Chain A
Amino acid sequence: MATHPGGLTAAARPAVVNPDGKPASGDVTAVSVRDLIRSFGPKGVLNGVDLDIAPGEFVALLGPSGCGKSTLLRALAGLDHDVRGSGVISVPERVSVVFQDSRLLPWDTVLGNVTLGLQEHDAEARARKALAEVGLAGREKSWPHELSGGEQQRVALARSLVREPQLLLADEPFGALDALTRIKMHGLLRDLVAAHRPAVLLVTHDVDEAIALADRIVVLDGGRVATIRTVSPEVGTAADAAGHENLRRELLTDLGVAAVSH
């Protein structure tokens, strides 16, 4: 069953995932959200959000600041027990969350943070493997405060992926990183997602990040899904430069920003 107990958002039923983990056609979804409403006090934040994500699909969520991106993500993560609202959410059994801050327990080592909550007997071996995957082999015994910001975020990635999630929720995971590190992290995330094939919902405010990583870009506005745009591989890798520039312009218009060309 769902990973999060209780609350308004307990999944009605876990979605069925294809054994080969490939994005499925038809009605198989990893995430399904129907008519989601969330409000803080008198203020409506989400006013009827509908969203489907296929298994293995990478969806980026864009939207102006304060439009409810984090609210939607927290609803999917089951972290909004006390928030008023309604709607039907269905998420897979194994969900991992990456936050904007790396959120490592300061009193546990890097290895302890990655194995947090794992019960399998081979948890430690798997955690070491995950740390090696994010390029941090040999740092297992370090304290979190001994790592750089980018390294801490890589540990957070290792912690989320070692659980082999069917859904990875990430709320501006690279927001606090410098531009160069962010580009490296994009490459890392792309490789990791290709290897583990979770469905991904990535909240970001960076249009280029969304284009570079996502299969589909959802723009949230006024508490609803305003537009959905598909990103073809050629556009995503900027092999189709004109298409890339075009999509960028469209997204910026969706976001209500006058497009500036590079």
Chain B
Amino acid sequence: MSAAPVLDRPAVEPHLDPTLATREDIRPAGRRLGPGRRRRLAWLLGPGALLALWTISSATGLLDPRILSEPWTVVATAGELLADGRLQENLAISAQRAGLGLFFGIVVGALLALLSGLSRVGEALIDGPVQIKRAIPGLALIPLLILWFGIDETMKVLTITLGVFVPIYLQTHAGLRGIDLRYVELAQTVGLSRAAFIRKVVLPGALPGFFLGLRFAVTGAWVSLVVVEQINATSGIGYMMELARTYGQTNIIVLGLAVYGILGLVSDGAVRLIERKALSWQRTLAG
């Protein structure tokens, strides 16, 4: 009995052949239900369309500049405010408030979620109060916070923190509680310590929930910022807009709105980028 002849291997592995792209590639037209491949910069399309609509309506006179300033006026205003330094100054103050509030909110929210997710006592003590806090609008707390802390930075950062920690807590907690029990059993059988269990199983397992919470939190931080800056402030983007209102300077108000919008969009994009890198192990519809 003779063995089958061994085929010579081709000089170039077919999948490495540079002419691969030009070869025939006919496939059955299978229906694809997912959204398809991700395209770079595609996220700019929606905001870009909005901007185009604004520009066209202003240029054709459809939009009265007294109602909404033209985009080019806003850009010119931005140039002036940048030149005399007011925009950077106020932006820096605002960013610092939002950043600090976000930082404390993330730390508090994630810690509480861990405590309440990993121990029954923690859950009994923490979950109820957080749900109560969730039912109280952030605005409703401001009078009390002003009485307690005055109108300085502490009150502002605290208001933002209180708005931020709730979504972080809720989503991280839900993610953590959703971890498959099979992985917990696995952790037991390989003899993980409690610390290693948290590091290797709980934190990675809760990360998708945490990131979802983070996206809510980042947007929420800017929203809370607007509120505190327009109520009681002597600096910041919100204050700049509030001042413009008293002088009827629509262009500065619109500029402030645009800045808030850009900040929100950019920070959300940043979170999503980090999320995609951190969760690259996931195989989901998002791709």
Partners in one complex: yes
Number of A residues whose C-beta is below 8 Å from B? 21
Least CB separation from A159: chain B residue: B190
Q: A106 with B282: in contact, given A101-B182, A116-B200, A117-B196 (CB under 8 Å)?
A: yes
Check if B283 is an interface residue, CB within 8 A of chain A. yes
Contact among B183, B188, B189, B282 for A105, CB-based, below 8 A: B183
Measured in the bound complex, the distance between the Cα atoms of B188 and A116 in whole Å is 11
Measured in the bound complex, the distance between the Cα atoms of B204 and A107 in whole Å is 7
Would A106 and B281 count as touching, CB distance under 8 A?
yes
Shortest Cβ distance from A192 into chain B, in angstroms?
17
Would B189 and A96 count as touching, CB distance under 8 A?
yes
Least CB separation from A101: chain B residue: B182
Which residues of B are found within 8 Å of A208, using beta-carbon distances?
A: none
Contact string against B for A residues 94-121, beta-carbon threshold 8 Å, 1 for contact and 0 otherwise: 0111010101011110000000110000
Would A117 and B191 count as touching, CB distance under 8 A?
yes
Which residues of B are found within 8 Å of A103, using beta-carbon distances?
A: 182-183, 185-186
Least CB separation from B201: chain A residue: A105
Check if A77 is an interface residue, CB within 8 A of chain B. yes
Would A105 and B186 count as touching, CB distance under 8 A?
yes
Would A116 and B185 count as touching, CB distance under 8 A?
no
Check if A139 is an interface residue, CB within 8 A of chain B. no
Check if A196 is an interface residue, CB within 8 A of chain B. no
Check if B205 is an interface residue, CB within 8 A of chain A. yes
Check if B192 is an interface residue, CB within 8 A of chain A. yes
Which residues of B are found within 8 Å of A116, using beta-carbon distances?
A: 186-187, 190, 192, 200
Shortest Cβ distance from A123 into chain B, in angstroms?
12
Measured in the bound complex, the distance between the Cα atoms of B190 and A96 in whole Å is 7
Contact string against B for A residues 37-76, beta-carbon threshold 8 Å, 1 for contact and 0 otherwise: 0000000000000000000000000000000000000000
Contact string against A for B residues 163-206, beta-carbon threshold 8 Å, 1 for contact and 0 otherwise: 00000000000000000001101111111100010001100110
Number of B residues whose C-beta is below 8 Å from A? 21
Least CB separation from B184: chain A residue: A79
Shortest Cβ distance from A98 into chain B, in angstroms?
9
Would A3 and B191 count as touching, CB distance under 8 A?
yes
Would B204 and A108 count as touching, CB distance under 8 A?
yes
Which residues of B are found within 8 Å of A99, using beta-carbon distances?
A: 182, 186
Check if A145 is an interface residue, CB within 8 A of chain B. yes
Would B281 and A97 count as touching, CB distance under 8 A?
no
Least CB separation from A116: chain B residue: B190
Would B283 and A79 count as touching, CB distance under 8 A?
no
Measured in the bound complex, the distance between the Cα atoms of B90 and A109 in whole Å is 45
Measured in the bound complex, the distance between the Cα atoms of B205 and A116 in whole Å is 15
Would A79 and B189 count as touching, CB distance under 8 A?
yes
Which residues of B are found within 8 Å of A117, using beta-carbon distances?
A: 187, 190-192, 196, 200
Measured in the bound complex, the distance between the Cα atoms of B191 and A159 in whole Å is 12
Check if B142 is an interface residue, CB within 8 A of chain A. no
Which residues of B are found within 8 Å of A159, using beta-carbon distances?
A: 190
Segment 160-209 of A: residues with Cβ below 8 Å from B? 163
Shortest Cβ distance from B143 into chain A, in angstroms?
44
Contact among A4, A96, A143 for B188, CB-based, below 8 A: A4
Interface pairs (25), CB distance under 8 Å? A3-B191, A77-B189, A79-B185, A95-B189, A96-B189, A96-B190, A101-B182, A103-B182, A103-B186, A105-B183, A105-B186, A105-B204, A106-B281, A107-B205, A107-B207, A108-B200, A108-B204, A116-B186, A116-B187, A116-B200, A117-B191, A117-B200, A143-B280, A145-B281, A163-B190
Among all A-B residue pairs, the 3 with the closest Cβ atoms: A117-B190, A107-B204, A97-B189
7 further A-B contacts with Cβ under 8 Å, apart from A79-B185, A97-B186, A105-B204, are A78-B188, A96-B189, A105-B200, A107-B279, A108-B200, A117-B190, A143-B280
Q: Name B residues whose Cβ lies closer than 8 Å to a Cβ of A.
A: 182-183, 185-192, 196, 200-201, 204-205, 207, 279-283
